[in-house]
Amino acid sequence: MSAPSSPSSSSDAPASPIRVLIADDQMMVREGFSVLLGAMPGIEVCGEAVNGREAIAQVAALRPDVVLMDIRMPELNGIEATREIVASDAPSKVLVLTTFDLDEYVYEALRAGASGFLLKDASARQLADGVRVVASGEALLAPTVTKRLIAEFSKLASVTKAPAQAQIGDLTERETEVLVLIAQGRSNAEIASHLVVAESTIKTHVSRILVKLGLRDRTQAAVFAYEARLVTPG
């Protein structure tokens, strides 16, 4: 008979909750999200902020895993606050909150380093799932994001300066292929299945792509692919 496993085994230790900071100038929104997320397993609301400057200060003090960031806030908007948080040494991921799915500022927030976006009328399940996706290091894009929004990103990208060809040239043919699939919203598992390789291989490709292009995460990689004209809607 095998001996019973030790109750102190590290594999039995509960995972640390995902710590969330809510930044929104509307008290009802903050309180509503706080109640919804507080009821979800594995998620803990660690603080709130009423504007961009306060969000930056709270991130520095609390170092949350995820920041739910409203775009339109007084004193400092969500785009500038996102840019400063991403540029800091904080480990926090930013999940942008918006009222409209075609909000032109969402694109700018993603370019500033946000890891995805959610509509403010998202259900409790969508909100919790979004927080978990972003906390895990994935991008909250398609299929969550609509095809219309991706099309809008492409239109806006068409009037921006495309990345230098030298940057694209640093990528291998396979890395470029993986970058395109990331921009199409595919997960590592889906890319691995499509290319018929191990998921660990795709993770390695993704890491190398981010290093070569000087990008923080998959969302910035997706934006890069659109701006480089590597991907077009449809």
- The answer as to whether 2 is a domain residue is no
Q: Are residue 158 and residue 217 in the same domain, yes or no?
A: yes
Q: Are residue 24 and residue 136 in the same domain, yes or no?
A: yes
CATH number of the domain at 162, please. 1.10.10.10
- The answer as to whether 167 is a domain residue is yes
pLDDT (tens digit per residue) in 166-204: 677 789 999 999 999 988 878 888 999 999 999 999 999
Q: Are residue 44 and residue 132 in the same domain, yes or no?
A: yes
Show the domain range for 120: 16-140
Cα separations (Å) of 104 from 31, 64, 71, 108? Answer: 26, 27, 11, 7
CATH number of the domain at 109, please. 3.40.50.2300
How far apart are the C-alpha atoms of 213 and 217, rounded to whole Å?
Answer: 10
Per-residue model confidence (pLDDT) at position 144: 45
- The answer as to whether 5 is a domain residue is no
Residue 103 has pLDDT above 80, yes or no: no
Per-residue model confidence (pLDDT) at position 188: 87
**Which uninterrupted H or E stretch holds 46?**
strand 43-49
Per-residue model confidence (pLDDT) at position 64: 96
* CB of 153 closer than 8 Å to CB of 105: no
pTM over 0.95: no
- Please say which residue of 90, 116, 140 terminates a domain: 140
Q: Are residue 128 and residue 208 in the same domain, yes or no?
A: no
Q: Are residue 29 and residue 134 in the same domain, yes or no?
A: yes
- Please say which residue of 140, 168, 197 terminates a domain: 140
Number of domain units in the chain: 2
Per-residue model confidence (pLDDT) at position 60: 95
Longest CA span, the chain: 70
* CB of 53 closer than 8 Å to CB of 80: no
